[in-house]
Amino acid sequence: MNESNKPIDLSLLQPVLQKYEGQQRDALLPLLHEAQAIYGWLPREVQEAIGRTLHVPLAEIHGVIEFYTMFYNQPTARRVIRVCEDPACQLRGAQTVMRALERELGLTHGQTSADGAVTYEHVPCLGMCEHAPCALNGDKPAGNLTPELISAFLAGTHPEPSARVYGGPFYMLGRVGKVNPVSLADYEAHGGYRALKKAVAQTPEEVITAVEQSRIVGRGGAMFPTGRKWRFTRAAAGAVKHIVVNADESEPGTFKDRVLLEEDPFAVVEAATLAGYAVGAERGWIFVRGEYPRAFARLQTAVQQARAAGYLGRNVLGKAGFHFDIKVRLGAGAYICGEETALFEAIEGKRGFPRIKPPFPTTHGLFQQPTAINNVETLVAALVAFDMGVTAWRQHGTEQSPGTKLFCLSGHVTRPGVYEVPFGLTVRELIEMAGGVKDGRSLQAILMGGAAGVFITPDSLDMPLTYEDARATGVPLGSGVIMLFDETADLRHTLYQLAHFFAHESCGKCFPCQLGTQRQMEILHRITHNGGVRAGDRQALLDIGLTMTETSLCGLGQTAASAILSALKQWPELVPEDIA
Amino acid at 368: Q
Is the pLDDT at 36 greater than 60? The verdict is yes
- Asked whether 39 and 33 are in contact (CB, 8 A), the reply is no
Is the pLDDT at 580 greater than 90? The verdict is no
- Asked whether 496 and 528 are in contact (CB, 8 A), the reply is yes
Q: How far apart are CA 490 and CA 444, in angstroms?
A: 10
Percent of the chain whose pLDDT exceeds 70: 99
Query: Which CATH number applies to 491-574: 1.20.1260.10, 1.10.630.10, 3.30.70.100, 1.20.1440.230?
Result: 1.20.1440.230
- Note the pLDDT of residue 350: 98
Q: What is the pTM of this model?
A: 0.97
When comparing pLDDT for 11 and 578, which is higher? 11
Of 272, 363, 278, which Cα lies nearest the Cα of 312? 272
Mean pLDDT confidence for 152-175: 97
At the fourth CATH level, which superfamily is domain 167-393? Answer: NADH-ubiquinone oxidoreductase 51kDa subunit (3.40.50.11540)
At the fourth CATH level, which superfamily is domain 79-155? Answer: Glutaredoxin (3.40.30.10)
Amino acid at 454: V
Of the pLDDT bands very low, low, confident and very high (cuts 50, 70, 90), residue 401 is very high
Q: How far apart are CA 36 and CA 358, in angstroms?
A: 36
Give exposure, 263-287, as e/b (b: 16+ Cβ within 10 Å).
bbbbbbbbbbbbbbbbbbbbbbbbb
Of the pLDDT bands very low, low, confident and very high (cuts 50, 70, 90), residue 3 is low
Q: How far apart are CA 191 and CA 267, in angstroms?
A: 10
Of the pLDDT bands very low, low, confident and very high (cuts 50, 70, 90), residue 573 is very high
Of the pLDDT bands very low, low, confident and very high (cuts 50, 70, 90), residue 458 is very high
Average pLDDT, the chain: 97
Stretch (H or E) spanning 103: helix 94-105
- Note the pLDDT of residue 100: 97
Is the pLDDT at 297 greater than 70? The verdict is yes
Mean pLDDT confidence for 326-348: 97
Q: What angle do CA 276, 277, 283 make, to 5 degrees?
A: 35
| Runs of H (alpha helix) within 221-285 | 226-235, 256-263, 265-279
Mean pLDDT confidence for 213-236: 96
pLDDT digits (tens, 9 = 90+) for 251-293: 999 999 999 999 999 999 999 999 999 999 999 999 999 999 9
Is the pLDDT at 91 greater than 50? The verdict is yes
pLDDT digits (tens, 9 = 90+) for 522-535: 999 999 999 899 99
- Note the pLDDT of residue 577: 87
Of the pLDDT bands very low, low, confident and very high (cuts 50, 70, 90), residue 6 is confident
- Asked whether 135 and 153 are in contact (CB, 8 A), the reply is yes
DSSP conformational letter for 440: G
Mean pLDDT confidence for 394-423: 98
Which residues share a beta bridge with 445?
Answer: 485
Of the pLDDT bands very low, low, confident and very high (cuts 50, 70, 90), residue 232 is very high
Q: How far apart are CA 293 and CA 145, in angstroms?
A: 19
Q: How far apart are CA 446 and CA 409, in angstroms?
A: 10
- Note the pLDDT of residue 222: 84
**Rg value, the chain, Cα:** 23
Q: What is the CATH number of domain 405-486?
A: 3.10.20.600
Mean pLDDT confidence for 538-548: 97
pLDDT digits (tens, 9 = 90+) for 44-71: 999 999 999 999 999 999 999 999 999 9
- Note the pLDDT of residue 1: 41
